[in-house]
Amino acid sequence: MKIMEDITFFERIKLLFSLISSSPFFVIILFLLIAATLTLVLSKKSNNRNLKIIVTVLYFISFILIIFNYGSSFTKFFDNLVTKLFTYLYFPSIIAYLCLMIIGILILVKMILKKEKSKFIVISNVMLFTISVLLFVLSIDIIVKGNIDIFEKTSIYNNETLMVLIQANTTVYLIWFITLLIKYLANKIIKKLDYEEKPKEDKEEIKEVRYLTDEEFNAYFENYKKKHEAFEEIKKLIN
């Protein structure tokens, strides 16, 4: 069995660019994805309904072009997938790869419907999804043109280009999920800190009232002000 030689990061980038430039179809898909990405970012900033319609149309056109170009291969693929799914479960990379694609689509749909406020998360989701779709299309083209049986791991391992694309897309999804996890944990921490800053109801009987001196009041106020400013800065970075 042929073992794939380890190549550098820049060699992988060069390989991706050479693949994209090798066919007008890839250039068109890249243009449509970039246009959809920029339009989606603008629609989130301006909340313009017309821009969202344009994004939907661009993604739909991209989808139609992909189906038109690889329709017959998709049909064969899903037929084999249904019949061989459990038989070849011992080699989970392709299965996991498809599951990641489905999860990525669901995340993007949820973001659009939920109207995510964080610009950082919006831009990250759209950019990473766009990159993953492009890598997915390139992978399909390599599989179809090379007549690769994706249910045979030797066929996949023997194709260096396909292995690079799968590894690259897996890395993209890993970065994507880590970004979402960091965002989730940061929101939880901020909510907890905000909750702790809120004055708690004291149900115990007040036995004694002591007035603060001017120095005590000023010190307390300055401390509260610094904490509040710190929380606001953290919120700005995340949102």
**Average pLDDT of the residues in 146-156:** 74
CA-CA distances (angstroms) from residue 175 to 10, 62, 124, 127, 170? 19, 24, 10, 12, 9
Best CA proximity match to 65, nearest among 32, 19, 108? 32
CA-CA distances (angstroms) from residue 152 to 125, 158, 167? 32, 10, 17
CA atoms of 159 and 174, how far apart (whole Å):
23
Q: Per-residue pLDDT for 92 more than 50?
A: no
What rounded mean pLDDT belongs to the chain? 72
Q: Are 227 and 197 in contact (CB under 8 A)?
A: yes
pLDDT recorded at residue 222: 76
pLDDT recorded at residue 91: 44
User: Would you place residue 90 in the very low, low, confident or very high pLDDT band (cuts 50, 70, 90)?
Assistant: very low
User: Would you place residue 199 in the very low, low, confident or very high pLDDT band (cuts 50, 70, 90)?
Assistant: low
For 112-148, give the secondary structure using H, E and C: HHHCCCCHHHHHHHHHHHHHHHHHHHHHHHHHHHCCC
198 secondary structure, DSSP code? S
Q: Are 32 and 61 in contact (CB under 8 A)?
A: yes
Q: pLDDT (tens digit, 9 = 90+) per residue, 133-143?
A: 888 888 888 88
User: Would you place residue 86 in the very low, low, confident or very high pLDDT band (cuts 50, 70, 90)?
Assistant: very low
Q: Per-residue pLDDT for 183 more than 70?
A: yes
Q: Per-residue pLDDT for 55 more than 50?
A: yes
Query: 81-85, 91-95, 214-218 — which one is most confidently predicted on average?
Result: 214-218
Q: Are 150 and 143 in contact (CB under 8 A)?
A: yes
| Domain spans, the chain | 9-184, 193-238
pLDDT recorded at residue 101: 73
Q: pLDDT (tens digit, 9 = 90+) per residue, 24-42?
A: 888 888 888 888 878 777 7
Q: What is the pTM (predicted TM-score) of this model?
A: 0.50
Q: Are 101 and 132 in contact (CB under 8 A)?
A: yes
CA atoms of 213 and 216, how far apart (whole Å):
5
Q: Are 124 and 30 in contact (CB under 8 A)?
A: no
Which alpha helices (H) appear in 47-118, and where do they start and end? Answer: 49-84, 93-114
CA atoms of 183 and 187, how far apart (whole Å):
6
